[in-house]
A and B are shown apart, each in its own frame.
Chain A
């Protein structure tokens, strides 16, 4: 049995390594933080260096949801639908102060943090966050993916 245990651990590591360096992201951009996302995604800062460069404009093909900007209550069901359409395994980054906590908006319109709608893995604060912070958040997420329990097709479910 010990040999099997060893094999499983190695598979987890290999899966984590593969997943953290092939993040297809879906940008859910609603506000001015989108400029910082563009800066981070394009050649100057280039998240492709970390394997997250492939932007998918369908949530069905993505495994990283980037919620960039203010999410008002009017948009709440849309964000939930987009998240539900993504396939497992999937991760969510809250990008910018508004997505993290509602930011400067505490009023009738704005959801006070997208974690009230979808589960969030990494919070990147800032109004807007610098691209360096985005890269740092991405590295934190990669670290999390590497060390989390990997779900895979033939894995034993509890």
Chain B
């Protein structure tokens, strides 16, 4: 499948879930509507696209934009040996998206990390708890609104001398 025909086939399959197509240094990026993320990725997981592997799931905070947070999904097809990048924009206030747990097992920890670092709520996640930071940590440290060097010590520290 060539690149253009692939994009055409995906758009025909997903319909209005695809908000647009972008190009990033030669790699195709599909922009998804956030409410359609799970159904779109479930469709891409099946034949003929066969994106069987969720390589990565992460997030970016673009401080200047209104829709600040951008979820980034990377898919990989073992049978066709191709990758696909998908993005979905979310608002900064109470961002929420449907979980991918149930489609890919590894989405569980990836979504917990994004929840921890960016505060994105993954609806339907069975155990949405902080992954990297500790209990009692307040805020989401990779948000641009987080004070850039605010540590949250768990024990009293000696002050700087």
Chain A interface (Cβ < 8 Å from any Cβ of B): 73-74, 76-77, 80, 106-112, 115-117
Contacts of B62 in A (CB 8 A): none
Contact with A along B27-54 (1 / 0, CB 8 A): 0000000000000000000000000000
- A-B contacts, 27 of them at CB < 8 A, read A73-B134, A73-B151, A73-B152, A73-B153, A73-B154, A74-B133, A74-B134, A74-B154, A76-B153, A106-B149, A107-B148, A107-B149, A107-B151, A108-B141, A108-B148, A108-B149, A108-B150, A108-B151, A111-B151, A111-B153, A111-B157, A112-B151, A115-B158, A116-B158, A116-B159, A117-B155, A117-B158
Within 8 A of A (CB), among B133-161: 133-134, 141, 146, 148-155, 157-160
Contacts of A74 in B (CB 8 A): 133-134, 154
Once A108-B141, A109-B141 are accepted as A-B contacts, the answer to whether A76 and B149 lie under 8 Å apart by CB is: no
Q: How far is the CA of A18 from the CA of B40 in the complex (A)?
A: 71
Q: Is B154 within 8 A of A108, CB to CB?
A: no
Contact with B154, one of A76, A106, A110, A116 (Cβ below 8 angstroms): A76
Chain A residue with minimal CB distance to B159? A116
Contacts of A76 in B (CB 8 A): 153-155, 157
Contacts of A73 in B (CB 8 A): 134, 151-154
Residues of B within 8 A of A (CB-CB), count = 16
Chain A residue with minimal CB distance to B150? A108
Q: Closest approach, in angstroms, between the C-beta of B40 and any C-beta of chain A?
A: 33
Q: Closest approach, in angstroms, between the C-beta of A79 and any C-beta of chain B?
A: 9
Contacts of B152 in A (CB 8 A): 73, 108
Q: Closest approach, in angstroms, between the C-beta of A3 and any C-beta of chain B?
A: 43
Most B CB within 10 A of own CB, among A73, A77, A106, A108: A108
Q: Closest approach, in angstroms, between the C-beta of A28 and any C-beta of chain B?
A: 16
Q: Closest approach, in angstroms, between the C-beta of B116 and any C-beta of chain A?
A: 11
- Which 7 pairs from chain A and chain B are nearest by CB? A108-B141, A116-B157, A116-B158, A74-B134, A73-B153, A77-B155, A106-B149
Most A CB within 10 A of own CB, among B133, B153, B155, B158: B155
Contacts of B151 in A (CB 8 A): 73, 107-112
Q: How far is the CA of A116 from the CA of B161 in the complex (A)?
A: 10
